[in-house]
Amino acid sequence: MTEMSGADMVVQALVDLGVDTVFGYPGGAVLPIYDALFKHPTIKHILVRHEQAATHAAEGYARSTGKPGVVLVTSGPGATNAVTGITDALMDSIPMVVLTGQVSTALIGTDAFQECDTVGITRHCTKHNYLVMDPERLGPIMHEAFYIATHGRPGPVVIDIPKNVQVATGNYVIPEKIAHKSYRPQVEPDADAIAEAIALIAAAQRPVFYTGGGVINAGPDASAALRQLVSLTGAPITSTLMGLGAFPCDDPKWLGMLGMHGTYEANMAMNRADLIIAVGARFDDRVTGRLDAFAPEAKKIHIDIDRSSINKIVPIDVAVVADAGRALDALIAAWQDAGHKPRDLGEWWRRVDGWRATRCLDFPERKDDDADIMPQRAVKALFDATRGRDPIITTEVGQHQMWAAQHFGFSAPNRWLTSGGLGTMGYGFPAAVGAQIAHPGRLVICIAGEASLQMNIQEMGTVAQYRLPVKIFILNNEWMGMVRQWQELTYESRYSNSYSDSLPDFVKLADAYGWTGLRIDTLGQLEDGIRTMIETPGPVIVDCRVAQLANCFPMIPSGAAHTEMLLQPSDVTGTMDDEAKALV
Amino acid sequence: MKIKTEAGERHVLAVTVDNEAGILAKITGLFSARGYNIESLTVADISADHALSRITIVTSGPPAVIDQIIAQLDRLVPVHNVVDLADQGAHVEREIALVKVAGSGDKRIEALRMADVFRAKVVDTTLTSFIFEITGNSDKVDRFIALMRECGLVEVGRTGVVAIARGAEAV
């Protein structure tokens, strides 16, 4: 116990909790904490250009390291600007602690300058939040907040600290052991549920693994366990957008991503399976398609650390509430103890191979040097050029994100950072900043759309300030491509406000910020351009002009079943009934 | 296109929570954000050290929705436990209403007579009004209020439901 100011306690707690990096932006109500940080050279503060970017950078840091991301912003607009990233972290289960300044306790509720009801505003977009009214509570709350953010289903925690609480002194208390009064997430799987699950897996003739971000969140060991269990059982595996990387893309059992822009084989396997083993995935609407047609013949095993995910969307036969890694370990042990051997799944694999033969990710293209670059080709070329470099890939949101998910292969967890649940345009570039800060020597590439990138493009200044070698690879088709694609699908190509008008010259913009800028216009320039991007030290922005009207296929349209995929543009009719229009 | 809604049966949930600022907002916000019904909600501090509150929520929905409500409540950090009293077998529910009736003559006499039938107590009277206190399950309170509407009802205050399982065990 040591007497110190609240601001010093905050910084001391960060040091004690092993925090090395804070993403933030100063302002009146956090000046005491900024002053305390000034005296603590062990904590690196990354000054962003907008508070939303601080939260996404913290997400990128967290997703690429497994450690919680930390954000420091001021009251009022500082806090409200952070709300999008906080919500994004909640939806994608990213551990994050956000420290917000607040007006002094005597001013709370008086509509003071830069006052907002931060705990009220963030109550439903955080896993938990605190308003600290007494400096003596800062130590315990800081430690508890990190515990809550990182244990159970990870998520964002906000600590709102009034300015006078930062200035006042008190005793800094470190709790001996964090044992929250009520928050005790179940981590170990129930043995009976594991036994039931193993019996189903051993008896299944058409099993498929459906895995998600929970496997990534459970740490690299969980990904290793997943590989072992898939190998033991011989079953095919697909994954959600958030789960990419947990299983290697070059393994013959890998079916690719499932869902709205998933592969034909993944969706057909889900539809025809007699057993689905869901691990750390939550049956999101982008995955299930029309619910009454979802996996009609399958029994479902659902492993999830969040009990509320079980039976939320789809009725489950065997529920295992546990950490994904612990549950996978238990399944492997139970499988081996029972002496199970892989069943002969030959007939099932023959059907899977039949679906694979549609080659659903193929796309039409011209191959001559002057040809327009198909965006899929650009992603494939980027993948080919970075093999062996173990890159970290982030994306914005839209068509480019789906093309990246489809055509960039991942073989290890924590290399793929994307906004899945909230679908936040403007996520990818600051996430790349966070990932690059955490991994200074690694190749970090943000695959962006020209529209999304502009939502946080101000972070070019942050990159320049910290000399980060972030690469931005823009698939520039001059459209909010996914919006336009839906307008073609649903609104007879009435392109209401989906054209990216008045784009900046990205090469000149790069120059203005002291970056290197490149432009790629034709297929013949693609490989050289990518090589130049990789080999150029420091930050590079690549304006890769791609075929403007390409759309993202395969696609399960709104309200359709897994078996009703659109495989190519000619499948599109251009209208939909109101029921389908009303679905997002 | 019409928007469909699903009906369901009534459940009484007893939720034990940390007695901290904002917890009620967190719980009611969860119900509104996820589109669950609240028919009644009561809350009060129940522990000697004022550390815990008990929130009694009357809600309705199909079984899958009730299961979700319980799971969603249970994962809130300050929530200690959630019990569906319907799962606990028989339970007792009580609600108090204060019912003000004004009038004179036959209606006034009739109100007093019916209050007696319902075992409602007179807690205040003037020459032209009564305030009745009635305790019982919500049905009984509803029926009493409906009758009082015919006898000069001017104002009602209700507590909402509190409930507890029968028998010697705590939930």
A245-280: per-residue pLDDT in tens? 999 999 999 999 999 999 999 999 999 999 999 999
The answer on A472 and A424 residing in a single domain is: yes
Q: Which residue of A has its CA nearest to B34?
A: A124
H helix or E strand, kind and range, residue A333:
helix A324-337
For residue A582, the distance in angstroms to the closest alpha carbon of chain B comes to 9
| pLDDT(A1) > 80 | no
The answer on A435 and A503 residing in a single domain is: yes
In a domain, B70, yes or no: yes
- Catalytic-labelled residue, pool A4, A23, A51, A460: A51
At which residue do the structure tokens 């709300």 appear? A83
Using DSSP, state whether A510 is helix, strand or coil. helix
Q: Which residue of A has its CA nearest to B81?
A: A182
Q: Which of B48, B64, B88 is the endpoint of a domain?
A: B88
In a domain, B129, yes or no: yes
- Catalytic-labelled residue, pool A67, A163, A300, A471: A163
Of the listed ranges A128-137, A221-230, A561-570, the least confidently predicted one is A561-570
The answer on B130 and B65 residing in a single domain is: no
Here the CATH number for the domain that contains residue B81 is: 3.30.70.260
Q: Has A51 been annotated as catalytic?
A: yes
The per-residue pLDDT for B5 is 67
The answer on B100 and B79 residing in a single domain is: no
Cβ distance of A307 and B75 shorter than 8 Å: yes
Chain A residues with CB inside 8 Å of B53's CB?
Answer: none
Q: Which of B17, B33, B77 sits opposite A127 (nearest CB)?
A: B77
- pLDDT tens-digit readout, A44-60: 999 999 999 999 999 99
Cβ distance of A128 and B77 shorter than 8 Å: yes
The answer on A216 and A324 residing in a single domain is: yes
Here the CATH number for the domain that contains residue A510 is: 3.40.50.970
Domain containing residue A144: 2-172
Q: How many domains are there within chain A?
A: 3
- What separation in angstroms does the CA of A487 have from each of A23, A261, A477, A500, A575? 38, 17, 16, 15, 9
In a domain, B1, yes or no: no
In a domain, A541, yes or no: yes
Average confidence (pLDDT) over B124-140? 96
Q: Which residue of A has its CA nearest to B80?
A: A182
For residue A309, the distance in angstroms to the closest alpha carbon of chain B comes to 8
The answer on A144 and A32 residing in a single domain is: yes
The answer on B99 and B82 residing in a single domain is: no
Q: Which residue of A has its CA nearest to B71?
A: A308
Residue to test with chain A: of B54, B77, B80, B81, most A Cβ within 10 A? B77
Q: Which of B1, B25, B72 sits opposite A578 (nearest CB)?
A: B1
Cβ distance of A578 and B74 shorter than 8 Å: no
In a domain, A303, yes or no: yes
The answer on A382 and A347 residing in a single domain is: no
Strand partners, B130: B101, B125
The answer on A348 and A210 residing in a single domain is: yes
The answer on B84 and B24 residing in a single domain is: yes
**B130 with B112: CB under 8 angstroms?**
yes
The per-residue pLDDT for A572 is 79
A69-73 β-sheet, strand order: A44-47, A21-24, A69-73, A96-102, A156-162, A128-131
The answer on B131 and B110 residing in a single domain is: yes
The answer on A161 and A81 residing in a single domain is: yes
∠ CA A128-A129-A131, nearest 5°, is: 160
The answer on B82 and B13 residing in a single domain is: yes
Cβ distance of A182 and B78 shorter than 8 Å: yes
Looking at every residue in chain B, the average pLDDT score rounds to 94
The answer on B80 and B126 residing in a single domain is: no
Residue (of A185, A119, A184, A124) closest to A158 by Cα position: A119
Q: Has A163 been annotated as catalytic?
A: yes
Domain containing residue B146: 91-164
Chain A residues with CB inside 8 Å of B72's CB?
Answer: 308
The answer on A399 and A344 residing in a single domain is: no
For residue A101, the distance in angstroms to the closest alpha carbon of chain B comes to 18
- pLDDT tens-digit readout, A190-243: 999 999 999 999 999 999 999 999 999 999 999 999 999 999 999 999 999 999
The answer on A160 and A221 residing in a single domain is: no
Chain B residues with CB inside 8 Å of A182's CB?
Answer: 17-18, 77-80
Residue A367's CB is within 10 A of a number of other CB atoms, namely 7
The answer on B67 and B111 residing in a single domain is: no
The answer on A384 and A344 residing in a single domain is: no
The answer on B51 and B14 residing in a single domain is: yes
Cβ distance of A315 and B64 shorter than 8 Å: yes
The per-residue pLDDT for A582 is 77
Q: Which of B88, B115, B140 is the endpoint of a domain?
A: B88
